[in-house]
Amino acid sequence: MSDVRSLLLVGVGGQGVILAGTIVASACLRAGMDVKKSEVHGMAQRGGAVYSHIRYGPRVHSPLVEEGGADVLVAFEWAEGLRWLPYLRDGGVLIINTEAVVPPAACRDRRGWTPGYPEVDVARLRGRAGEVLACNARALARRLKHQKVANTILLGVLASRLDLPDAAWQEAIAATVPASTVEINLRAYQEGRRLTFPRDTAPVDGSRRPVQARPSSRDGATAFLIDVVDGWCKGCDICVRVCPEHCLRLNGRERVEVIDAAACTGCRLCEWLCPDFAIAVRGVAPVLPDTARRTE
Amino acid sequence: MPADHRTASEYRRYLRQEMMPHILCPGCGHGIVLGALLRALAGRGVDPDQVAMVAGIGCSSRLVGYVDFCTLHTTHGRAPAFATGLKLARPELAVIVLTGDGDGLAIGGNHLIHAARRNIGLLCVLFNNQVYGMTGGQLAPTTPSFQRTATTPYGNLEPAFDACRLLTAAGATFVARGMTLAPVPLQDIMAQALAHKGFAFVEVLTECPEYYGRYNRLGTGAEMLLAQGRLPEAVADRLARKTFLPVREEGAGAAAGGQVRPGLAFGILHREERPELTEALRAASGGARG
């Protein structure tokens, strides 16, 4: 069965996983292959998981990809990619979208990010797959002024790693997507196919860790350092609301970060009112102005 | 307020840091109460091995899992009973009971009032979030009238316990009430309660945004916390004075249909001197124990 290749497309509802699967299967048929496909798309409206198994080759008997059997895993969403990682075979190719879609069930604070969502950190995938191709497909699609084609960009990346003829892909896309979007989808496909990793795709957003800020200084007065334990913060917003100097804010991951360390007066309200012990305000040695230092 | 900024955050050494972050919901006020208690302990420079924290069942009782003292996680409502036994056996320990409003006032109400009656040297911190948080937001004996919970979808028709008056009547020799919005006075109350000889009871108003807040549309944890400042009794200067305040303020709200929060007084509400149980026992046993 070594001449049969197994693909797994995974994502969440609304990302176009099923459409992408249909295009892949259609491209395989146009390349003269036998192809079988099986998909699950229940709960899609609630942000649930959607996946599509595709197997193609001269003769295919079963559409199902078994654990450790996928040659290529295309993850349209970060957490889904991590969840399906065991299905990738040793040395397989992982194509992963760094966009995060937090399912409603994980929104314990009903505001979006929670600590339960896995950190988007591409470096951690190193060694977990033969080749890791990570990009923010949504951001790339926005550059094409059409964010719905994120799935087609990922298909382009997939096409660059498969042995199907380019014409088969283009015909399949043109025959499958709505007529008014054929042109933009073909452009998105070419965009994905041309991407070089990681040159075009770094830096990946979300992997930055704002933890410590520079100490504040007030001309010889005690300076203060706001330490935030990123992993303990639950994004409850209390410190942001009580800080009289507006030193803090919630970042895109709904964790607190220091935006204006110099304004901190060391009142410690944020520390005392943090229910998660995630903030400590430390006084550090006075920062002397340069002139004072020279006279010493 | 700590004078030395370099050591001000040292109370975090009392945490079992490898267990963090704790399981409590975002915006839950319980961590603020624990922080005030830990700072009060750090201010006294206590040795963690000389502190025993005893808890029953509930959100507040989960906190003992995150502190690096001698800790006991016991049966529902029975924390004062376990703590009584522990204090009798090891009177030199500082024994602290963490309990919630459901744990301490409903299933464990009897244990609590009898510990107060005996005036045994415990510090009991009651986290009052007005609801059963861990089990899904059911009615608690502290839920204010007309408020919604999972079991009172049309509003609670029962009046709420005033835990401080209850414990004063039961014989507690130190009774105080704090709130999460005022962490500095809370820390001061905790410090005075730790220094007290006899049964010290501290009730702290805290927020449950996930259940109580959601059922009553009180907003996020941050909004609930800040709303405490609108309690007419919660004026900061009164807190600073730490004097006994008139317990009930029946205002215009009572006349307008009774939909008023129970009047709550804050600060140290009652303090008296009475023989502490373990000392009285030792005195009664005379030379027998030496």
Query: Is there a single domain that holds both residue A35 and residue A78?
Result: yes
Arithmetic mean of pLDDT, B220-246: 59
Domain hosting A143: range is 5-194
Q: Is residue A35 part of a domain?
A: yes
CB of B21 within 8 Å of a chain A CB? The answer is: yes
pLDDT of residue A208: 37
Most confident by average pLDDT, A278-292, B125-139, B264-278? B125-139
Query: Is there a single domain that holds both residue A241 and residue A128?
Result: no
Choose among B25, B36, B225: nearest Cβ to A238: B225
Given a cut of 60, is residue A265 above it in pLDDT? Answer: yes
Number of domains in chain A: 2
Query: Is there a single domain that holds both residue A66 and residue A130?
Result: yes
pLDDT digits (tens, 9 = 90+) for A143-153: 888 888 999 99
pLDDT digits (tens, 9 = 90+) for A205-233: 433 333 333 444 444 456 788 888 888 88
ipTM of this predicted structure: 0.84
Across the interface, do A236 and B183 touch by the CB < 8 Å criterion? no
- The model's confidence at residue B51, banded by pLDDT at 50, 70 and 90, is very high
Arithmetic mean of pLDDT, B106-131: 94
What is the DSSP code string of chain B? Answer: --S-TTSTTGGGGGB-GGGPSPSSPTT-THHHHHHHHHHHHHHHT--GGGEEEEE-SSTGGGGGGGBSSEEEE-STT-HHHHHHHHHHH-TTSEEEEEEEHHIIIIITHHHHHHHHHHT-SEEEEEEE-SSBTTTTSB--TTPPTT---SS-TT---SPPP-HHHHHHHHT-SEEEEEETT-HHHHHHHHHHHHH-SS-EEEEEE---IIIIIHHTT--SHHHHHHHGGGSTT--HHHHHHT----S----HHHHTTS--PPP---EEEEE-----HHHHHHHHHGGGT-
Query: Is there a single domain that holds both residue A161 and residue A65?
Result: yes
From A150, A173, A194, give the residue that closes a domain: A194
SS3 state of residue B263: coil
Query: Is there a single domain that holds both residue A255 and residue A155?
Result: no
Helix (H) or strand (E) holding B28: none
Query: Is there a single domain that holds both residue A137 and residue A272?
Result: no
pLDDT digits (tens, 9 = 90+) for A92-118: 999 999 888 766 555 444 444 445 667
Q: Is residue A100 part of a domain?
A: yes
Annotated domain spans of chain B? 14-288
Across the interface, do A273 and B9 touch by the CB < 8 Å criterion? no
Give the mean pLDDT of chain A.
80
Query: Is there a single domain that holds both residue A183 and residue A238?
Result: no
Q: Is residue A143 part of a domain?
A: yes
CA angle A283, A288, A289 (to 5 degrees): 135
Q: Is residue A43 part of a domain?
A: yes
List A residues 262-281 in contact with B (Cβ-Cβ < 8 A).
Answer: 266, 268, 271-278, 280-281
- The model's confidence at residue B86, banded by pLDDT at 50, 70 and 90, is very high
Query: Is there a single domain that holds both residue A190 and residue A227?
Result: no
B29 interaction partners in chain A (CB closer than 8 Å): 275
pLDDT of residue B258: 34
Query: Is there a single domain that holds both residue A181 and residue A250?
Result: no
**A44: phi > 0 → left, psi -120 to 50 → alpha, else beta; which?**
alpha
Query: Is there a single domain that holds both residue A61 and residue A150?
Result: yes
Query: Is there a single domain that holds both residue A129 and residue A75?
Result: yes
Given a cut of 50, is residue A71 above it in pLDDT? Answer: yes
Arithmetic mean of pLDDT, B39-67: 92
Query: Is there a single domain that holds both residue A190 and residue A228?
Result: no
Q: Is residue A63 part of a domain?
A: yes
CB of B217 within 8 Å of a chain A CB? The answer is: no
Choose among A242, A278, A283: nearest Cβ to B5: A283
A109 interaction partners in chain B (CB closer than 8 Å): 25-27, 220
Tell me the CATH number at A30: 3.40.920.10
- The model's confidence at residue B132, banded by pLDDT at 50, 70 and 90, is very high
Q: Is residue A157 part of a domain?
A: yes
Looking at CA atoms only, how far is residue B240 from chain A in angstroms?
A: 17
Fold of the domain built from segment(s) B14-288: Rossmann fold (3.40.50)
pLDDT of residue A50: 86
